[in-house]
Structure 1
Amino acid sequence: MLKKNRLTMAVSAALGMSAAAILPSVANAQDELMVEEVVVTGSRIQKANLVSASPVTQVDAEEFKFQGATRVEDLMKNLPQVYSNQNSSQANGATGTATLNLRNLGDERTLVLVNGRRLPAGSPIQGGSGGADINQIPAALIERVEVLTGGASATYGSDAVAGVVNFIMMDDFEGVKFDYQFSQYQHDNDNDHLQDIVGGAGFPFPDGSATDGDIQDWSLVIGSNLANGRGNVTAYAGYREIDAVFQSQRDYSSCALNTTASGCLGSGTSAEGTFITPAGVFFVDGNQFIPGNKVYNYGPLNSYQRPDERYTGGAFGRFTINEHVETYTELSFMDNQTNAQIAPSGAFGLALNISPDNPFLSDQQRGILFGDLDTLNDDGTAPITVLRRNVEGGPRNQDLRHTTFRGVFGFRGDINETWRYDVYGLYSQVSMENTYYNDLSNTKIANAVDAVIDPETGDTTCASVVDGSDPNCVPWNIWQTGGVDPAAPAYMTLPLFARGTTEQKVFSGYVAGSLGDYGIQLPTADSGVEIVVGAEYRKESLSFNPDEGFQLGLGAGQGGATPAVDGSYDVTEFFTEMSIPVIEGAAFAEEVTLDLGYRYSEYEIEDNSISTDTYGIRAAWALNSDLKLRGSYQRAVRAPNIRELFQPQGFNLFDMVQDPCTTSPDGNPPTATLAQCQRSGVTPEQYGNFVDSFAGQYNFLQGGSTELQPEESDTYSIGIVVTPDVLDGLNVSVDWYSIEIEQGIDNLGPEFILNQCLAGNDALCANVKRGPLGDLWLGSDVNTSGHIVATNDNLAREEVEGFDVSADLTVAVGDMGSLNFSNNMSLITKWDQQEVDVAPVVSCDGVWGGECGYPTPDFRNNLRTTWLTPWDMTFSLMWRHIGGTDDQRGNVDIDSIDYFDLAAVWDVVDSTTLRLGVNNILDEEPPIVGDGAGPSNNGNGGTFPGMYDALGRYMYVGLTVQF
């Protein structure tokens, strides 16, 4: 048995796989693989040898049990090579999806497959990058996950620049399996430092132990073989329910922190109002204008874990018709509904004209507004910009629902002893419903603020009621503390609706053959050349249909108009692969193999045709059974995906410490000169004098572009695999990689655009649109409000280099069973980006914030120790290490952090397994960095929940019954 286990481990290491947990069920399954040829992610050529030229990390189904993961993204994001941007922790800017991001190069550069075939774009909603939504993958049916951490576009086409995540599903299950798991979070709110900050600012905070965020997950799998083993049907159904956690439930997120995380920042759109007038900035106390402003603590009402309800169902089937034809199908369905809650809506910098006859104004307020006749409009009204939070109306809620269907129908088999084939059709559709509750209408706000005395009744009402233009209007008294009529928010509320779909159609087929049967082989090898030739047609479509409120930008909290979009593209591709055994059975060359791949693609995007060539070469050299070398080069060309082409354009927010052209709210003078600021549209009168954003948030216009060109990348890798005969059970693989991307598809950073403009880049100055007051943050009208245009474009260059190290060791401990040690490490030595040719190269390895955005730790490591006891119990301890990152802006550096996870699995009887565990057993708090961890950097609650454990301990107990 030890010899067999060693062989199993050798296969894992030779394929570059990290055996996260080698349980008996896994070992038996891998032993079965040894007797037949297999296809490893990254190629369509079947191999039975122990050498693979591509580094592949494998996660087995047992790892879901050890981590208690009910969300697939929670398991995957713990891999050192994987990052998570969109996930269940997002609130402001959430798409309601869960995506994967290899090497921190972007979701759009990570191709997600199920059984080697594509998943569709996750959602048409604004804010995402087009990555696949892995919510649709049923965890109960996953056999293993293979992660190819290197380019594979020659094999799979576009989107595989950073690598491939391939979910291999069970298709041979027999029996019935029921699984239930309950899990929740627990955290001790005992951060005295942050409690002092929050309490000192006058805001409440939680204290003591909190237990919340309950997750319940049910799944049922039923399978049966057909016709004496000629086929199998495996069906599944699942239900998951997740309770919400809000930022108010953790002391470290109970106020929105400033840039240095040293004080509460908040928003100038407050309950007291911020009124910007020619005479200065004021807030309301009683019925008086007081100079200055109050801040609103918007953080506590935001979701920290969105509530979620998901239904899944489907079936996988295959049947051998005869010796030449096996038919197969994959059917999957998902309905996922989640709610992203954020702070109340309001008037977010709405420019209004106030009449001196407004009955709500006090004499003091009227004197300030109308005291200087030179500042009045021609009709005698006073210009004013209003920021007033609708605290009386409650928080905004974005209800996001995605319904996904995916169907695959295909045929495969042996033509003869030499040739085999695989042909399939695939159709996927994602239907999105976005229902936005409790936003306000800018039009109705303007009506409600324009209060008058009804000449007939003597009552205070709206001018629009008197003139008949809006008889339902209720006046909004924001000029007195406690003066708001509850009917006013109800009147101003504007429900918003958007519906959309993404569709994917694929027709693909290939033939594969062993040319050695025709004598085509090198004289130095015993095996012949293997070849694959195929073709594929794919069509991607996106339709986004917002209602009139979205399209006209009527929602006060939406940041501007969101247009409808309807677009598609198709691509016809031809591909080939070849595996050439060069040497076999020689001294110091037990096996040398050369793999070649090529793909030609012809894209039709509206009226444009784009052709691309993608190719790769990989080599593997087994000196002997102990030592193997491998290397590869991949030339990848990635055309823009459907989201990058047709993503709806609209306002979003980006974080910046201070507008360089004015005085900050805390009194810091402009950081740029007048001459520099004039390049960006600031007048001498405005310089240093216009009101800066109180929350450090500014507008930018995001969205797709049909003018995008394909990006190009070169990926290199060199690796070594060691399975020493003298140390039975040890397997080590070390791989160096380099990924260079040119003309990368992304949007320029808004702050980068502004800084380049100030530095003299006149071309980028055209993207800086100052508002009437000189600002970049007031208002939501794309035609009049200040903002920076940062839509998708082809940028200059990105370059990533590093090492991946995997090590496995299994040792027997006498009659106490065995121990398995499995380690997976990622070391990044270079992560450089250059946004435009004239800009400096920015180094982002070990850096977060600024132009680097989301943290890129230069060192991440996972070590799992598993004890397989002889008493039907298995214990496992995981150590997760995340290296520190420096704040590019020099404010808050993130220290390295260590997590420890403990799990136990007990086979109670043959048919029943009980599991329980605690992740983050020491209740380590996430690094709190302040407002730099905002939506524009895929952060939330002052941290990055996609990287760190944001909610504390995660505890779970699960039961599996199988018969």
Structure 2
Amino acid sequence: MFYRTAMLGGASALALTISASALAQTTPAEPAPTGQQAPAPETAPASTGGDEGIVVTGSRIPANGFSAPTPVTVSSAAQLSAASPTTIGDALRQLPALSASAGPRGAQTSSGQGGAYLNLRNLGSTRTLTLFDGKRFIPNDGSGQVDTNLFPQALVERVEVVTGGASAAYGSDAVAGVVNFIINKKFTGLTGGVQGGVTTYGDNPERKADLSYGTKFAGGRGHFIVSGEYFHNDGVDDRVNRPYSAASCQPISLPSGSATARDFACNVRVSNAAFGGLITGPTALRGTTFDANGNPVPFTYGSQVTGSTMVGGSGVNPQFAPLVAKLDKKILYTRASFDVNDNLTVFAEGNYGDVFNEYQVGSYSNQIGSTALTLRNDNAYMPAALRAQMATAGVSTVTMGRYDLDLPRTDVNVRQRTLRGVFGAEGSVFSGLKWNVYGEISRNKRNLDLKNDLIQANYVNAADAVVSPSTGQIVCRSSLTNPGNGCVPVNVFGTNQVSNAALNYVTGTNSSVQVFHEYVASASVAGKPVKLWAGDLGFAAGVEYRKQDFNQTVDALSEAFNPITNADGAYRVGNAKAQRGAVNVKEAFLELEVPLLRDVTLFKSLDFNGAVRRTDYSTSGAVTAWKAGLSWQIVSDLRLRGTRSRDIRAPSLYELYQRGTSAYNGQLFDPLTGTTASNVRTLTLGNANLRPEMADTTTFGFIYSPSFLRGFNASVDVYDINIKGAITSLSAAQELLDCSNGSAASCALIQRNAAGTLTQVNIVTQNLAAFKTRGLDFELGYRGNARWLANDAKLSLRLLGNYIDRYMQITPGVKPVDLAGQIGVAPHWRMTQQTNLDIGNFSLFAQGRFIGGGFYDKTTAATDLPQRSFHGQLLVDTRLTARIPGAVKWETYLSITNLFNQMVNPYVVNVQNDFDTIGRTYRVGVRFTY
């Protein structure tokens, strides 16, 4: 089936080529846009700025007409800013291969912390090597993720995305590929701009400003550039004003005896807690809630009531997750170079970044499920009517589930301060060989504060309020035996009952400070020193040493024992642990480009490209990555390419050394009991015994550049990636499912209380057996004159697409499930179409983004959740630009993303996915260049 799809993709590309011939003009067309995968013309010079004449190879060997067999997608600065004029990370998420990348939008928990992390093929950001001008950039923390918010967007000339077979040439950790941000190092002049935006719902206002300057000095022997950028958006804490959240749709547990354990429903409410408190037991008193003043009132239950959910009724709508994280970033980049002589240039560059993210945890503080309150009949705040009911029922305690509307929401604050310095030299020697050496010293300090985080034991003590027999005052019961414990009583019956003193007692700031260092020393040489029978032999070789270390300190309560959960960590969420770790890596690589045939029958050219890299990790020993590929130019119009490679990735510092970070799942389905558990704690742990993962990657495809239609290119590439010993952390839901399917390893990570109720799931990084994905990439592009519109009209068309045929993780003892076709994970189709029309001093850009639909969750059994397929989403973006020529070139623009305000299906909003959940956004801006 898949190979039939691949053939259809190729046939479609050729059909579109023929149909596009109608666009050809009698006048010469412009060159193909730099974003195409097709090779640039052999005569194209190396670029020193702008979009024209860029040679892209996907190789470390300097380009001279050779195009490596590895697929490369390139986006110019103009294309990126037109697609998304906010941050460069958001712009890259428009590409199908990167649409699963993380960003401030859709922040759900503290795990992403609002950063912009690139994720190729949804294989994970740690399997995507992100380079800054060909060099490594310091990760934010021990996860190894690089935040692209720190890159100076105004000076990014283009971004090259190498998909597959990249570890041997570019470095370890490139299992999914490489994203390389190329900086315009020769920029001269002054350019800047300002921009503002807001959504159609009147929220998430944003503003942006940047200014860049470049100049030559010392008679042209030196060059200096500096660029500064500021960006701010307010974020959106709650999504309840969006229609899909107001609908509150999700899978819910069904009563015992139903055909399936769960089903889809809307207007889902919480059945075991309420603002102001809800009595959930004993049965005789179940269903009593309280108004704002603490008076008992009946709780209205809906239908399909289970232990934690129901449809309808007066319960709480659980759509609490934040929609957009607040982002405030200030970055500065500077570079100076000096030509000592014709063969020697020295350079230095520096990056400074101050990036702040803020958002609310995805729920109010609460006491539900395993942490529900147990209240005695002598509670000082208990309404008399409830006390009388307890006496009639003959019970001395009741259980209360509660959402704390009278406590401020826990607020996540993340501040990253980054300093990076690079010093190096480059030049050339005999036979045109080019060499480069550099050293990097970087430091990142991350402050993570969870403000107003509930101290669970303190809250339980505060809720257990009694009248002091000696003073007649309301005090905590615990203070009767320990008068100096500082406990301040809290009235849990009703809302707005918490005093400032009580607030300070029951909440605190859960904080951690992590300092991360990276040191890199690298040397390389490349060129084409030898002429062979069919052309020049090219090679690149180099060595690199890098060291990374981190040290994290935390507040005392994060390490304290919590009697409510019987685990370390006094707070409801967070509870980071003091930890540290270090790793050093030594690498050496060699890449060869061997021309095999030239200008013989059926072989206009045949070239071999191969590379090998030996990497020695201090934690796990040495491994080898390699690549072998062929590029076959059959005729001038058609080139075939193919690559086979072994790619590698070692565990990150977190994956090795993390002591444990906790969080709570508000609702977690337990397939063993067929019920949904509330407030289940998850604890993320490292594993010092991890080994490097290895991936075998195969790609093959073609590029068609018809001579009868200059400016048109089409490419189709098939890829197959098989990761062995994949390093990953299964989700809590997946571990529960694996356990129910017979995995003893997953069952060992799950904890239950004496009643068999789910209480904790440990998330431990593991070397799983395999991860396999297979798919098809295609790209069609045309750029030329459009004189049928106007004499000076220029038209650019581009279509990028990805089809996923297989996406599966294979764990020993567990039946594998192919997730290809599941929304939020691996929808079969992702496509982006871009059109740009220039007429005189005006430009119109239009973009269509299609994310295919699919099944909600293909892992579910037929007896669990009915399989259901949902439609995809088509988003249309547009931008209108007007230019004012002159000595100072000005342009103004209006940008509208999600023009038709297409919103995500209410049933899939809680699925991690790349659907738009924000809605229509307007932006206006002005730029100048001098």
TM-score, structure 1 length as denominator? 0.83
Measured in 1, the distance between the counterparts of 2:909 and 2:883 equals: 47
Aligned to 2:109: 92
Q: Say if 2:661 and 2:684, in contact at 8 Å, map to a contact too.
A: yes
Q: Say if 1:69 and 1:75, in contact at 8 Å, map to a contact too.
A: yes
SS at match of 1:495: strand
What does 1:448-467 align with in structure 2 at a 5 Å threshold? 448-467=462-481
Does structure 1 residue 240 correspond to structure 2 residue 231? yes
Q: Say if 1:81 and 1:102, in contact at 8 Å, map to a contact too.
A: yes
Does structure 1 residue 111 correspond to structure 2 residue 129? yes
Equivalent residue in structure 2 for 1:652, among 646, 658, 663 = 663
TM-fit CA distance, 1:226: 2.2
TM-fit CA distance, 1:332: 0.9
SS at match of 1:212: coil
Does structure 1 residue 843 correspond to structure 2 residue 854? no
Measured in 2, the distance between the counterparts of 1:78 and 1:860 equals: 10
TM-fit CA distance, 1:164: 0.7
Measured in 2, the distance between the counterparts of 1:656 and 1:702 equals: 18
For 2:869, the aligned partner's letter is D
TM-fit CA distance, 1:717: 0.6
Measured in 1, the distance between the counterparts of 2:207 and 2:767 equals: 44
Aligned to 2:15: none
TM-fit CA distance, 1:274: 4.4
Equivalent residue in structure 2 for 1:345, among 350, 356, 365 = 365
User: Runs of 5+ in structure 2 lacking a partner?
Assistant: 1-23, 252-263, 302-307, 563-568, 861-865
What does 1:531-550 align with in structure 2 at a 5 Å threshold? 531-550=539-558
TM-fit CA distance, 1:494: 1.5
Q: Say if 2:685 and 2:762, in contact at 8 Å, map to a contact too.
A: no
TM-fit CA distance, 1:278: 6.0
Q: Say if 1:633 and 1:715, in contact at 8 Å, map to a contact too.
A: yes
Aligned to 1:783: none
For 1:950, the aligned partner's letter is T
Q: Say if 1:5 and 1:27, in contact at 8 Å, map to a contact too.
A: no
Q: Say if 1:392 and 1:486, in contact at 8 Å, map to a contact too.
A: no
Aligned to 2:244: 252
Aligned to 2:6: none
> What is the total number of aligned residue pairs between the two structures?
853
What does 1:464-863 align with in structure 2 at a 5 Å threshold? 464-470=478-484, 472-479=486-493, 485=499, 487-516=501-530, 521=532, 523=533, 525=534, 527-552=535-560, 558-559=572-573, 561-605=575-619, 609-653=620-664, 658-662=669-673, 664=675, 692-693=676-677, 698-776=680-758, 786-814=759-787, 815-834=791-810, 836-848=811-823, 854-863=824-833
How large is the Cα RMSD of the aligned pairs? 3.1
SS at match of 1:417: helix
TM-fit CA distance, 1:701: 2.3
TM-fit CA distance, 1:67: 2.6
Aligned to 1:49: 65
Q: Say if 1:654 and 1:700, in contact at 8 Å, map to a contact too.
A: yes
TM-fit CA distance, 1:812: 2.4
Aligned to 1:8: 31
Aligned to 1:915: 893
Q: Say if 1:720 and 1:733, in contact at 8 Å, map to a contact too.
A: yes
For 2:646, the aligned partner's letter is R
SS at match of 1:405: strand
Measured in 2, the distance between the counterparts of 1:879 and 1:356 equals: 62
Q: Say if 1:598 and 1:614, in contact at 8 Å, map to a contact too.
A: yes
TM-fit CA distance, 1:488: 2.9
Structure 1's consecutive aligned runs of 4 or more residues displaced over 6 angstroms after TM superposition are 1-5, 25-28, 289-295, 367-373
CA offsets 1:704-744 (integer angstroms, 9 cap, x no match): 22111111101111111111112222211111111111110
SS at match of 2:708: coil
TM-fit CA distance, 1:568: 0.9
Aligned to 1:671: none
Measured in 2, the distance between the counterparts of 1:214 and 1:16 equals: 41
Does structure 1 residue 222 correspond to structure 2 residue 203? no
For 2:803, the aligned partner's letter is L
For 1:621, the aligned partner's letter is W
For 1:358, the aligned partner's letter is N
Aligned to 1:262: 266
What does 1:377-456 align with in structure 2 at a 5 Å threshold? 386-456=400-470
Measured in 2, the distance between the counterparts of 1:886 and 1:748 equals: 20
Does structure 1 residue 83 correspond to structure 2 residue 99? yes
Measured in 1, the distance between the counterparts of 2:353 and 2:271 equals: 38
Aligned to 2:258: none
Measured in 1, the distance between the counterparts of 2:279 and 2:39 equals: 62
Q: Structure 1 882/718 Cα, relative in aligned 2: closer, same or farther at 3 Å?
A: same
TM-fit CA distance, 1:405: 1.7
Q: Say if 1:67 and 1:917, in contact at 8 Å, map to a contact too.
A: no
Q: Structure 1 693/287 Cα, relative in aligned 2: closer, same or farther at 3 Å?
A: farther
Equivalent residue in structure 1 for 2:289, among 268, 274, 284 = 284
CA offsets 1:888-916 (integer angstroms, 9 cap, x no match): 24465331221222212222123211222
TM-fit CA distance, 1:265: 3.1
TM-fit CA distance, 1:356: 5.0
TM-score, structure 2 length as denominator? 0.86
Measured in 1, the distance between the counterparts of 2:271 and 2:79 equals: 43
Q: Say if 2:367 and 2:373, in contact at 8 Å, map to a contact too.
A: no
SS at match of 2:96: coil
SS at match of 1:799: strand
Aligned to 2:14: none
Q: Structure 1 214/482 Cα, relative in aligned 2: closer, same or farther at 3 Å?
A: closer
Q: Say if 1:257 and 1:266, in contact at 8 Å, map to a contact too.
A: no
Q: Say if 1:732 and 1:808, in contact at 8 Å, map to a contact too.
A: yes
Aligned to 2:381: 360
Q: Say if 2:274 and 2:401, in contact at 8 Å, map to a contact too.
A: yes
Measured in 1, the distance between the counterparts of 2:495 and 2:135 equals: 60
Q: Say if 2:104 and 2:114, in contact at 8 Å, map to a contact too.
A: yes
Q: Say if 2:89 and 2:117, in contact at 8 Å, map to a contact too.
A: yes
Does structure 1 residue 180 correspond to structure 2 residue 194? yes
SS at match of 1:443: helix
SS at match of 1:477: coil
Measured in 2, the distance between the counterparts of 1:733 and 1:705 equals: 42
What does 1:12-91 align with in structure 2 at a 5 Å threshold? 13=36, 15=38, 29=50, 31-33=52-54, 40=56, 42-89=58-105, 90-91=107-108
TM-fit CA distance, 1:369: 6.6
For 1:215, the aligned partner's letter is E
CA offsets 1:672-711 (integer angstroms, 9 cap, x no match): xxxxxxxxxxxxxxxxxxxx535xx643322322111111
Aligned to 1:320: 339
SS at match of 2:825: coil
TM-fit CA distance, 1:513: 4.1
SS at match of 1:265: strand
TM-fit CA distance, 1:228: 3.0
TM-fit CA distance, 1:508: 0.9
TM-fit CA distance, 1:298: 6.2
SS at match of 2:274: coil
Measured in 2, the distance between the counterparts of 1:62 and 1:510 equals: 31
Q: Say if 2:224 and 2:336, in contact at 8 Å, map to a contact too.
A: yes
TM-fit CA distance, 1:339: 1.1
Aligned to 2:255: none
TM-fit CA distance, 1:837: 2.2
TM-fit CA distance, 1:472: 3.6
Measured in 1, the distance between the counterparts of 2:26 and 2:431 equals: 32
SS at match of 1:446: helix
Q: Say if 1:729 and 1:809, in contact at 8 Å, map to a contact too.
A: yes
SS at match of 2:430: coil
Does structure 1 residue 898 correspond to structure 2 residue 874? yes
